[in-house]
Structure 1
Amino acid sequence: MIIKAKLGNISAFEIKGRHIDWLEMEWYETRKRILHKKTRSGKSVSLKFLSESPEITQGDILYNDEFIIIAAEILTCDCIVVKPITIFETASLCYEIGNKHLPLFFEDDSLLIPYDAPLFRLLTAQGYEVLRENRKLLQPLKTTVSPHADRANSSLFSRIMQLTTDL
């Protein structure tokens, strides 16, 4: 079965007695344009989103007919969880994580990062309250600014730090 588009989300879809067959996905597979997997019931599925990244989220419907709905299930994974207290901590954490080019997720006032042992040790050594948990990485933190822009010889990070210390 070839799937070329998402059809909506299960949260706003009428199930009408149809069976939901979950397509289990790892967090890093949700942006793949071409992917071959099997659903929980064993149906082969090929995702072919050729025009753009699909950004599949929890419960996205990939196929439906009168008997079945195939929906995405994002699996839990080993994560670093940090709950920053101040905006200064948030900026510092985002800078450290961004410098390592690691994906960053946000949920319930916490920053979530796929587990990385060196980062876990670094954040712990820097005094942050760091937890290791199995969580679903559902809400990627997206940036729309250039982190190394040159405005009066200062970086974005230094400007954010200046704003937080001026308060």
Structure 2
Amino acid sequence: MSILETAETLANLHRAAFAEVGERPWTTPEFASLLTTPGIRFGLREQGFVAVRVAADEAEILTLAVDPGARRQGLARALVEQALAEVAGAGAVRVLLEVAVDNTAARGLYDSLGFVEAGRRARYYGRADGRRVDALVLALDLVPPTASAGSPAA
């Protein structure tokens, strides 16, 4: 599959996944650009995908999209778990993401995976009806913190 065909597939999935909440879907040219950007990784399955950026020892989940007809079947969890394993293998020790405060399904998924609130972006996401909703910045540490030099060993 060419970059343009892959970008079109991603854009179609993204549009279907985000239509319900009225968020602007990413376009085929935006996905084509991402596909050629260093540090960007995609986990793609027939009915969903996750896009992740890795930079040094940090990763960011840019977007996660699952076709509405394939939801509540564990696909989103599988995609995120696969992405977490991949970025950990690439040296990332922390993963960040932004999620709309009103996206209860995604928040539940990220909570169950151990993500914790690290911040908030006021009025970050626009909705088709003109409303603006906050984004929660969530973080997950992939490796446990090491004991400081002066701490007793366990």
Q: Shorter-chain TM-score category?
A: under 0.3
Greater length-normalized contact order (CA 8 Å, ≥ 6 residues apart): 1
Higher helix share: 2
Give the TM-score normalised by structure 1. Answer: 0.23
Give the TM-score normalised by structure 2. Answer: 0.24
Q: Quick check: which has more Rg, 1 or 2? A: 1
